[in-house]
Amino acid sequence: MQAAVMYGGVVVKGSVNSNSTSLAVCFSRAQKGRKQKQLSSSIDFSNTNCQLLSSSSSCMPHRTSCFGLRLDSFSMGTELTRSSLFRSRPIVKALASGGGGVGDVEEGRPIKSVEDANYVVPPQQQQGKASTGTVFPFVGVACLGATLFGYHLGVVNGSLEYLAKDLGIVENTALQGWIVSTLLAGATVGSFTGGTLADKFGRTRTFQLDAIPLTIGALLCATAQSVQTMIIGRLLAGIGIGISSAIVPLYISEISPTEIRGALGSINQLFICIGILLALVAGLPLAGNPIWWRTMFGISAVPAVLLALGMAFSPESPRWLFQQGKFSEAEKSIKTLNGKERVADVMTDLTVGSQGSAEPEAGWFDLFSSRYWKVVSVGVALFFFQQMAGINAVVYYSTAVFRSAGIASDVAASALVGASNVFGTTIASSLMDRQGRKSLLITSFFGMAASMLLLSLSFTWKALAPYSGTLAVLGTVCYVLSFSLGAGPVPALLLPEIFASRIRAKAVALSLGMHWAANFVIGLYFLSFVNRFGISSVYLGFSGICLSAVVYIAANVVETKGRSLEEIERALNPTI
């Protein structure tokens, strides 16, 4: 009986001998502009371990995988198990021995016997352009977490003076510092927790769980009658945004089509900036209503609840479902996200990417193994450079810089910095899939280094004294713009792309832990360094860190634009 199989552009043709329970097949892949390559093979189903005997009409020094088979052109025989062969899906009815036509479609049926070899993926499902528009609503729901990230970071800046009066701690700067920094401590814990939860419960369920500390934390802060309650509320909110910081970019990268993954990934940073701006706008009524600060904290519970509700209707990450062996659910998720015409393509990528691996999710200690540490260290280093390059210091000190230029309004100064951040991030999202991640990172850190140098000179170079205020403002705006073009959005996008699937969630969490730890250190020691060395010297040091980042990125970061997550994983981890 004759049969033909097509999966992800691979055609398998052959015949089934019912007496010997063997299948003789011919593998061929059409290559654009090249002669078609063929591999003739015979599969014997009579034993527990099937034997694949292959001969190649054109030996090529590479391996080809399909249906879970690994074909090595230099090997005359390759063993495989039934499980690896039978894992491929979706499958539909193939050619009958004498019909010469394609039979009825029957999707989602796994190969369990010789008879099931008579199922193929029809040509119309092999190729198709992604229905990218269907992804946007789900990315928008996930970005509620990014918005809350920015909002909770910014909400205390305008409200601290008023809540300190209300809680009776105006003279106690130590307690005020705890209210500010507790959020960062909670975020550090949450960033590590997020990876574990995402691996165990899935991405969408973790978002729903994350809404709990975000909602409770917001309500505790809004109703606090004591410093202790306020600190507990900030700690819970910090845990919530820490989890969000880990799973928002992870989820977006795993559901986004390859061709627009960069643009969608940078939206995460854009919504963080929007959250900071919303916190600024929310503080405008404070001057006329001193207890408005409670409302500022309380309203953040609304997007947290919307996040939980939205994720109840959002599809789970197909990659997580595939790793859990939930193939039918993965297919449904891909259909919802990309359209039914892309189901076969994406499932093929996931199948080939897994290479039949049955490895469990990695543990925390696996991240430090020789197999993974090289790529994990890139993620940790990127967030280290991002924070130690001085972005938070520039934002913290921007009010004084703008006052030196004659801009007395703190709101106007913060609005200008926030608008610069949003504008730069918007530009970055349009360039991400055209210019690439690596080039944007290098350009960004180089621009930050030049801006820091300008800021440093504006404070010390006597020849520039008449223009020092204007130059300081220009340097600050240019720094924020440069940061938002690459150093801000790219690390959160790049990390889920370069990490192998079995370590992705935990490796992102570890890198985000570095983000929060460095953020905490800068916030804690920045003013002490300024008092000891002077702002000019500190800014010069930041400039040196930015230049070091340029050198590191040029030597260690790989370009990922236009490549699927599975392609990137195989390129960086060839042993998988």
Contact (Cβ atoms closer than 8 angstroms) between residue 416 and residue 518? no
pLDDT of 97 > 60? The answer is no
In a domain, 308, yes or no: yes
Amino acid at 88: S
pLDDT computed for residue 418 by the predictor:
76
Please check whether residues 301 and 414 belong to one and the same domain: no
* pLDDT band at 393; cut points 50, 70, 90: confident
Please check whether residues 300 and 378 belong to one and the same domain: no
In a domain, 103, yes or no: no
pLDDT digits (tens, 9 = 90+) for 315-355: 999 989 988 889 899 899 988 888 888 788 888 877 876 65
HSE (CB half, 13 Å, CA atoms) of 246?
Answer: 35
pLDDT of 410 > 90? The answer is no
Residues 6+ apart with CB under 8 A from 481: 420, 421, 423, 424, 447
Distance CA 138, CA 207 (A): 12
Domain boundary among 273, 295, 314: 314
pLDDT computed for residue 315 by the predictor:
94
Least confident segment among 3-17, 278-292, 384-398 = 3-17
pLDDT computed for residue 511 by the predictor:
87
Q: Enter the tokens of residue 135.
A: 């992804």
pLDDT of 415 > 80? The answer is no
Please check whether residues 431 and 287 belong to one and the same domain: no
In a domain, 142, yes or no: yes
Please check whether residues 264 and 387 belong to one and the same domain: no
Q: What is the pTM of this model?
A: 0.64
Q: By residue range, what is the domain housing residue 305?
A: 131-314
In a domain, 155, yes or no: yes
Please check whether residues 435 and 305 belong to one and the same domain: no
DSSP-assigned letters across all residues of 372-424: THHHHHHHHHHHHHHHHTTHHHHHHHHHHHHHHTT---HHHHHHHHHHHHHHH
Distance CA 346, CA 334 (A): 7
- The domain that contains 405 carries what CATH number? 1.20.1250.20
* Cα dihedral 451, 453, 455, 457 sign: negative
Least confident segment among 125-129, 220-224, 313-317, 569-573 = 125-129
Please check whether residues 249 and 165 belong to one and the same domain: yes
Number of domains in the chain: 2
Nearest to 195, CA basis, from 555, 513, 565, 534: 513
Please check whether residues 286 and 139 belong to one and the same domain: yes
pLDDT computed for residue 161 by the predictor:
83
Please check whether residues 249 and 386 belong to one and the same domain: no
Residues 6+ apart with CB under 8 A from 449: 543, 544, 546, 547, 550
Domain boundary among 291, 314, 337: 314
Domain boundary among 295, 314, 333: 314
Please check whether residues 222 and 281 belong to one and the same domain: yes
Q: Strand pairing partners for 102?
A: 95
pLDDT computed for residue 71 by the predictor:
35
Amino acid at 486: G
* Between 491 and 520, the higher pLDDT residue: 491
pLDDT computed for residue 226 by the predictor:
93
Please check whether residues 291 and 384 belong to one and the same domain: no
Q: Strand pairing partners for 331?
A: none
Q: Enter the tokens of residue 320.
A: 């997580």
pLDDT computed for residue 475 by the predictor:
86
